[in-house]
Structure 1
């Protein structure tokens, strides 16, 4: 991996672990595109939009600690553990770099489901409020709250019932 790409990845990791959206934004290429794990309906484009998403995400996701890095040259995969609300989160980030070693494409993948719904319930309303769309932020918050609650309940109460190591009585 070239020096500029190495520096970008190191700065990106440090920004994530410190929750610094501005520092993360400095790692982005002018034509950056963020592909969300939460929707396939649109993408976030350009450093301003992506940095705004990162800022909202860092309000929800904390205690980020990168644990694995794979790839070479213009493609890297980073993995971290964090916490979204009260939910443990693991995220994979596929980073594609431009010729200057800056991030031109960022694709996010996350697990488990309760952490993803926690992020979804928090990030949408925050972004909409920043866009001065408070009414829509309330609607999105109200619409995502039941899914978030059902996912948490299912993870804690229903999913353990399907554990293959537990015998039926």
Structure 2
């Protein structure tokens, strides 16, 4: 169980430091992120997740995490950050594999106005990686 806690703790610390290399070590090889913005896009694999998470956490300022909730294979980490001068909150559900690495990330963003600002800031940056977007749209 220590490896599980360490993986989630390391993920949160890496996002605060915007250390994408460290963040990537917390993810399972087959990790995926279910988009909270589109509802149908799923970003899979280290290459696509690196591109996405670099854009996501590179655009957030003043990121803070509350203590992680849960035990076992599912955890919830709640963060607050700022994007374009507005505060955005994420209740991030993290599903872990048998080795304690993060297998699935399911962000839940709020409030709606901040989520809209976040989407408008993120979209143009992600368009620079059309292959990542195309693969995320596959089922």
| TM-score between both structures, scaled by the size of structure 1 | 0.73
1:149-168: CA deviation from partner (whole Å, max 9, x where unpaired): xxxxxxxxxxxxxxxxxxxx
**Correspondence for 2:44:** 45
The equivalent residue for 2:134 is none
When the two structures are aligned, how many residues end up with a matched partner?
131
1:84 touches 1:118 (CA, 8 Å); kept in 2?
yes
Q: Quick one: distance in 1 between partners of 2:19 and 2:123?
A: 19
Is residue 110 of structure 2 the alignment partner of residue 123 of structure 1? no
Equivalent residues of 1:19, 1:62 under 8 A apart: no
Residue correspondence of structure 1 range 7-86 to structure 2 within 5 A:
7-86=6-85
- Matches of 1:59 and 1:85, distance apart in 2: 12
CA distance in 1 between partners of 2:91 and 2:82 (Å): 14
Q: Secondary structure at the match of 2:128?
A: helix
Instruction: Measure the CA separation in 2 of the matches of 1:53 and 1:130.
Output: 9
Please report how far the alpha carbon of residue 22 of structure 1 lies from its aligned counterpart in structure 2 after TM superposition: 2.1
The one of the two structures with greater contact order (alpha-carbon pairs below 8 A, sep at least 6) is: 2
Shift of 1:10: 1.5
Task: Name the stretch that deviates more: 26-35 or 13-22.
Answer: 13-22
Max Rg structure: 1
What residue number does 1:108 align with?
Answer: 107
TM superposition outliers: structure 1 runs of 4+ over 2 Å: none
Residue segments in structure 1 that go unaligned for 5+ positions in a row: 133-169
Where in structure 2 are there 5+ consecutive unaligned residues? 132-139
More helix by share: 1
Alignment of structure 1 residues 132-147 onto 2, 5 Å: none
Q: Provide TM-score, normalisation by structure 2.
A: 0.88
Q: CA RMSD in A?
A: 1.4
Mapping 1:88-107, distance limit 5 Å: 88-107=87-106
